[in-house]
Chains A and B, each alone.
Chain A
Amino acid sequence: MNENTSHLSEYVPIVIMALVALGFVVTTMILTHTLGPKRPSKVKDDTFECGIPVIGNARSPFSIKYFLVAILFVLFDVEVIFMYPWAVNFKELGAFGLWEMFTFMGLMLVGLFYIFRRKALDWE
């Protein structure tokens, strides 16, 4: 179809859909806010901790592993994004593109292997 001509107007429906969804979300939130009963109490509005008194709060440090996973995700996702334009033009680029990308994927695998060896993704 119109693969090479991208019109900004094609994106207007996305905005319309966002407005429809936003309208629904806001209406429902206002409805539930006005219709529901309100009987607040100190104990009820306290943080839930399976019935025992609350100890500390949740704004405490958590495992560094989650940060590692997030950083590795950013790295690999950028690499994945590099591959999309190549994949779209794969047939036109031919053998040259294929070997170029295999080299890139090889480097990516070396990185992945390094991560495995450093035990960055091992959960104890």
Chain B
Amino acid sequence: MDPILYTILLCVIVFGISLGAAAYMTWGERKLAAVLQDRVGPSRAGPFGLLQPIADGIKMIFKEEMIPTHSNRWLFVLGPCFFMLTACMTSVVIPWGSGLTINDTFYRMQVTDINIGLLYLLGVVSIGVYGIMIGGWASNNKYSLLGALRASSQMISYEVAMGLSLIALVMTTGTLQLGEIVRQQDGGFANVVYQPLGFLIFLICAFAETNRAPFDLPETESELVGGFHTEYSSMKLGFFLFAEYINMFISSAVMATLYFGGYNFPFQHELGLEGNALAIVQSLVFMLKISGFIFLFMWIRWTLPRFRYDQLMNLGWKILLPLALANIFITGLVMFFSGKLG
């Protein structure tokens, strides 16, 4: 197949997978919440309520589109579109599998393996703040403005700790290329064994970056109505909610890739599987790891209460940031004394 054509196809597939995963995560979240609260959850649309996400999507599209009179019209529309766009952009650097060989042609399962993959991820995640900020500010509503301010200062605060926790990982791996980081974890231990503290910091920051409970202060319904999306309706609201699930899916994938071996799994070369069969099993294992993280995201949301704003800022700046610095310090010293330096 023509390489460009294959790239386009791969982009569409990856995009479709992230959308589909996000759609069914809404279903999964409602079912899980129901189980945790001793309820049934969505059960009317299709068997086990499995058609519920589709019904929700159609409903969103057919809802009335409201643009408040006092808002900045263009920015109001641009906000959710931009948020959705950036949420979809991160999936290009994730290695979804080792690649298939059909008719002697190699088909990669990572859209592109740029050598600054990690920086690209951090960069796109930072741009995500703009969608919320534009949307919240353009609404010209006090709740939206407060929600947007909270969201942006929370996201940028945790981004520092997130970047620092990744530096310790880069020190051990020596590369920013995600494909290479996964290949290094083949056979040996996963990176979480060498970077337990770094992983913990990254996990907490991932929760804060995706605005998930217990860090969902930007949309506290008890204080700010709906936070930055108070004034939104129809698919624009849908984009904000949907992009949050895509972000959650991608951050789960990133955590699985960086710290839990990506598509590698223990004893994968002793199973007697070869080539394509192994690649398919690897991708399924990767999806399983992602699902595990998504389950963790949801479990925590329905278990822990929300932080207070000062607690949130203190955790980010006064605990996680020094901890991340200490992690770099320890990693450097351990590597120095174990003679791993050139």
| Chain A positions near chain B (C-beta within 8 angstroms) | 1-3, 6, 10-14, 16-18, 20-22, 24-26, 28-29, 31-33, 35-40, 42, 44-50, 57-59, 62, 65-66, 69-70, 72-73, 76-77, 80-81, 83-84, 87-95, 98, 101-102, 105, 108-109, 112, 116, 121-124
B44 is an interface residue with CB less than 8 A from chain A: no
Q: A25-B84, A36-B63, A47-B140 are in contact. Are A105 and B167 (CB under 8 A)?
A: no
Q: A10-B112, A84-B119, A95-B336 are in contact. Are A25 and B64 (CB under 8 A)?
A: no
Q: A21-B15, A84-B119 are in contact. Are A58 and B141 (CB under 8 A)?
A: yes
Interface of B is mostly: helix
Contacts of B140 in A (CB 8 A): 47, 57-59
B95-138 to A contact mask, C-beta < 8 Å, 1/0: 00000000000000001111110111000000000000000000
Cα A75 to Cα B230 with chains together (Å): 32
B35 is an interface residue with CB less than 8 A from chain A: no
Give the residue among A17, A45, A91 with the most B Cβ atoms within 10 A. A17
B162 to chain A, nearest CB (A): 9
| Chain B positions near chain A (C-beta within 8 angstroms) | 4, 7-8, 10-12, 14-15, 19, 60-70, 77, 81, 84-85, 88-89, 91-92, 111-116, 118-120, 139-146, 149, 152-153, 156-157, 159-160, 163-164, 167-168, 170-171, 174-177, 179-180, 225, 230-231, 234-236, 239, 309-310, 313-314, 317-318, 321-322, 325, 328-329, 332, 335-336, 340-342
A38 touches B64 (CB 8 A): yes
Nearest chain A residue, comparing its CB with the CB of B332: A98
Give 9 CB contacts A-B under 8 Å: A10-B115, A20-B11, A46-B70, A58-B144, A73-B156, A77-B160, A89-B174, A90-B171, A121-B314
B336 touches A28 (CB 8 A): no
Q: A14-B112, A112-B322, A123-B310 are in contact. Are A48 and B231 (CB under 8 A)?
A: yes
Contacts of B119 in A (CB 8 A): 84
Nearest chain A residue, comparing its CB with the CB of B111: A13
A86 to chain B, nearest CB (A): 8
Nearest chain A residue, comparing its CB with the CB of B124: A14
Cα A1 to Cα B91 with chains together (Å): 21
A23 to chain B, nearest CB (A): 9
Contacts of B70 in A (CB 8 A): 46-47, 57
- Give which listed residue, B7, B174, B322, contacts A90 with CB less than 8 A: B174
A22 to chain B, nearest CB (A): 6
Cα A30 to Cα B225 with chains together (Å): 28
